[in-house]
Amino acid sequence: MSKIKPSSKPVLGQKRHPSGAWPASFVLELPLQVTSKDAKTILVRMEAGRQLYNACLGESLKRLSLYRQSKAYQIARSIPKTEPVKRRSAFRSAQLAQGLSEYHLHTYATDSRASWLGDHLHTHLAQNIASRAYKAIEKMMFGTARKVRFKGKNQLPSLEGKQNTTGIRFEDGQVLWSGLSLKAVLNPKDEVQKYALSQRVKYCRMITRVNQSGNHRFFVQLVLEGHPLPVHCRKPKQNRVPAGSVVGTIGIDLGPSTIAVVGDEVASLEGFCPELANNQPKIRRLQRKMDRSKRRSNPNNYKEDGQIKSGRKVWTFSKTYLKDKAMLADLKRREKAHRKNLHGRKVNELLQFGNCIKLEKLSYKAWQKRFGKSVGKNAPGLFVSTLKRKAASAGVLVVEVNPVATYLSSRCVCGLRQKKHLSERTHRCGQCGIEMQRDLFSAFLVKHVDGKNKLHADVEQLYLGAKRLLGCAWNTAKTANRRSVNASVVSKARRQSGSSRKVRRTAKNMDVVMSVASPDGAFLVPMSSNASESHKEADASLSKPPAFRPGVV
């Protein structure tokens, strides 16, 4: 399966645009057919690249130490910051005096090829490896990183060249690399892949990945000039509305574990990647097992209270630990691929509902402190970046609203501001009497924010028109929740003594957080509430929904 993603790295021989930007590029990933003999050769070259990277990193650390000890560096530090040009020039001269630059490191890597490394690494490959080492040192030099890490065995899974005329190159559906001829797996029916292969190849990148059984799989990433095939130029799938073809605005309220969508003809409340929760218990048990094995094999590296001792240590790992480590890496790889697939499916669904998408501009990194597990599992920041990328390709506008200026979470359409606790999932206004699910109401408000971060003047009238749509989405969620909680859930718990017992959880003694299909099967609608309360609310407020269409409430 091919993968398309953008890239912006400059290529040898390229010329900048008059505006100063490098020509646009994108990446096409293709799997390779590799024999066991060729696989051994590739792995030897990967190992040679790893050793050269460590050598360049060690040499850079030495030069960095000499640079900071030099008199020229001390003189440069004494120059006041009010003279930035002079200060920058002094620092640069001190670096060049100690050979601390990317091109000096290129020379060191090229000279290192005089050893056995030259039999496996081309000059351009060696220089790119040197550039990677210099970028790591540069972060340490400018204070954005405290230290650099040397690569252990099998920790350098990629090698790339500078151009497609020498070293690793792609020609006629094959990767040619110093005597190796590796056939790529192509799909002649894939129009995206066909379009990408018609573009000029800038350079190639070899990738190796290890699966759960310990076998290596090999891929090639082709960095191509131009832009990927736009979405509106692709043949739409069966029963799918082309992205960006519907004119309208939709509002999104994205949370750590839920997503609410409100448009002109659509309203939904869903769990955010609910299918990913299945692997979490298995990953957690595997991590605990690895920690116990590590402590048993290295008792001298731990204090009496269980903390790791400071200083240099020698670690010993059992075969079972290494097997579990490979299994954990494979589980996380599968989880990552599954999450990426779910993000793509959800983004494609959103792009069918309108040509303008509005959402709040949030700091998803700040969410990690409070919702660490949910953010690590669902990756909302990655979802937003995928949405922006696909929307730009489909010609759909994505607008991020400033939450500080709009304060949508505490605002009503009547203008009243009232702060709500995070546990309050229902918006109730004491002035106008509006009662609506909190996430759906926020998605409605963000949909009607103008370019000046203010709500439209007639937002109260617009809410009256959308009230039935929002209420129907809320009632559908309650109805689906009521139907699902009737089935009891049996799970395992553990007594205080450590023995296991079975606990029957029913609607009366548990808070239900479930994702179930809506009556038409179009959406997965999660609700979080006490089951007994949801029964009463659903019976009291259940109303007949309007006519459904696939994917629309």
Q: What is the pLDDT of residue 188?
A: 87
CB 351 within 8 A of CB 231: yes
Query: Quick check: pTM over 0.85?
Result: no
Question: What does the mean pLDDT of the chain come to?
Answer: 80
pLDDT for 370: 85
Q: What is the pLDDT of residues 427-456, one digit of tens each?
A: 888 788 788 888 888 888 888 888 777 787
What φ, ψ does residue 136 adopt, rounded to 5°?
-65, -45
Residue with tokens 């139907």: 483
Residue 168: name the closest of 219, 132, 134, 214 by CA. Answer: 219
Sequence-separated (6 or more) residues with CB below 8 Å from residue 149: 136
Give the distance from CA 271 to its chain's centroid: 18
User: Does the structure show a pLDDT above 50 at 503?
Assistant: no
What does the pLDDT look like over 362-416, one tens digit per residue? Answer: 888 888 888 888 888 889 999 999 999 888 888 888 888 888 777 777 778 787 7
Least confident of 163-172, 267-276, 290-299: 267-276
Rounded to whole angstroms, what are the CA distances from 260 to 248, 444, 461, 549? 17, 9, 21, 18
Which range among 116-125, 364-373, 476-485 has the greatest average pLDDT?
Answer: 116-125
Cβ-count burial 267-300 (b if 16+ within 10 Å, e if not): bbbbbbbbebeebeeeeeebeeebeebbeeebee
Mean pLDDT value of segment 14-23: 56
- Under a CB-based contact definition with an 8 Å cutoff, are residues 534 and 510 in contact? no
- In 422-488, the DSSP E strands lie at 426-428, 435-437
Sign of CA dihedral 388, 393, 394, 399: positive
Q: How far apart are CA 466 and CA 480, in angstroms?
A: 21
**Hey, what long-range contacts does 175-182 have (CB within 8 A, 24 or more apart)?**
175/32, 175/204, 175/206, 175/220, 177/206, 178/120, 178/122, 180/38, 180/41, 180/42, 182/32, 182/33, 182/34, 182/38, 182/218, 182/220
pLDDT, tens digit, for every residue of 20-61? 556 788 999 999 999 999 999 999 999 999 999 999 999 999
Q: Who's near 407: CB < 8 A, 6+ residues apart?
A: 417
For residues 378 and 279, the model is more confident at 378
Distance CA 222, CA 204 (A): 5
Which residues does residue 7 pair with via DSSP β-bridges, in sequence order? 25
Residue 89: enclosing H or E segment and its boundaries?
helix 84-97
State the DSSP H helix or E strand holding residue 253, giving kind and residue range, or none if neither: strand 249-254
Least confident segment among 93-107, 184-198, 372-386, 502-516: 502-516
pLDDT in tens, 199-241: 999 999 999 988 767 789 999 999 999 888 876 677 766 556 6
Structure token pair of residue 501: 């017992």
pLDDT score at 515: 35
pLDDT at residue 219, rounded to an integer: 95
Does pLDDT of 499 surpass 70? Answer: no
Q: What is the domain partition of the chain in residue ranges?
A: 3-229, 232-307+319-541
| Start-to-end CA span in the chain (Å) | 33
